[in-house]
Structure 1
Amino acid sequence: MYLINITIKANQVPKDQEADLLAKHRAWFKGQYEAGNFLLVGPYRDRPMAGLVIAKAANRDELQAMIAQDAYFPDLATYDVNEFQANLIAQKINDYQGE
């Protein structure tokens, strides 16, 4: 599994493309979520234009191919990726959706 920290480089996004790129970005992560690749997606509350994704992929190359489909890739966002092993998962994790 992978933890992806995404930070959009807001100062580099062309003003006339902001809304279109954001809509495409949201469609991208929704599509990955619906495909079962992104398990958790959400914005940071304390960092503007940034968020996290918990993803599953067979390997790093497969994950990189998913990331490459984002509208902000490669130059308009940073994607910090860390692989991890989920040893403990709270059964009530769904209770925290939207918090």
Structure 2
Amino acid sequence: MFVLELMYTAPLEQIDEALPRHAEWLRGQFEAGAFLAAGRKVPREGGVILVAGADRAAVEALVATDPFVREGLTEYRITEFVATVTAPALEGYRERLPA
């Protein structure tokens, strides 16, 4: 599993102008089953996305398709973790530690 941390590198006016394109991209990823949750940071300096499945290379390729990235408005920090404990609603995403 991965935590994607978005850090805005452009003024909020530019972020707001690109937001509809980014939101459409997010919807597509939710429909594809790649994303579990997404939202803005507080204070509004970026966002966070929780990603299930994919390997790191696939996640990096996916991030590169975000309109915020393509338009040079944000940077991503990608953190991989093994979700060994989950809420009951996320049991299907529970992982085992590598042997």
Q: Is the structural similarity TM-score above 0.5?
A: yes
Aligned match of 2:9: 9
Residue 48 of structure 2 aligns with which residue? 52
CA root-mean-square deviation: 2.1
Question: Match for residue 97 of structure 1?
Answer: none
The residue aligned with 1:96 is none
Letter aligned with residue 47 of structure 1: P
Where do 5+ consecutive residues of structure 1 fail to align? 94-99
Amino acid at match of 1:32: Q
Deviation of 1:34 after TM superposition, in Å, equals 1.2
Pairing 1:1-99 to 2, within 5 Å after superposition: 1-11=1-11, 15=13, 18-44=15-41, 46-74=42-70, 75-91=72-88
Alignment: residue pair count = 89
Return closer, same or farther for 1:57/1:63 CA change in 2, 3 Å cut-off. farther
Any conservation in 2 of the 1:2–1:55 contact (CA below 8 Å)?
Answer: yes
Deviation at 1:79, TM superposition (A): 0.3
3-state secondary structure, aligned to 2:49: strand
Instruction: Considering Cα pairs closer than 8 Å and 6+ residues apart, tell me whether 1 or 2 has the greater RCO.
Output: 1
CA contact (8 A) 1:57 1:63 kept: no
Alpha-carbon distance in structure 2 between the residues aligned to 1:65 and 1:20: 24
State the one-letter code of the partner of 1:10: A
- Kindly, what percent of the aligned residue pairs are identical? 29
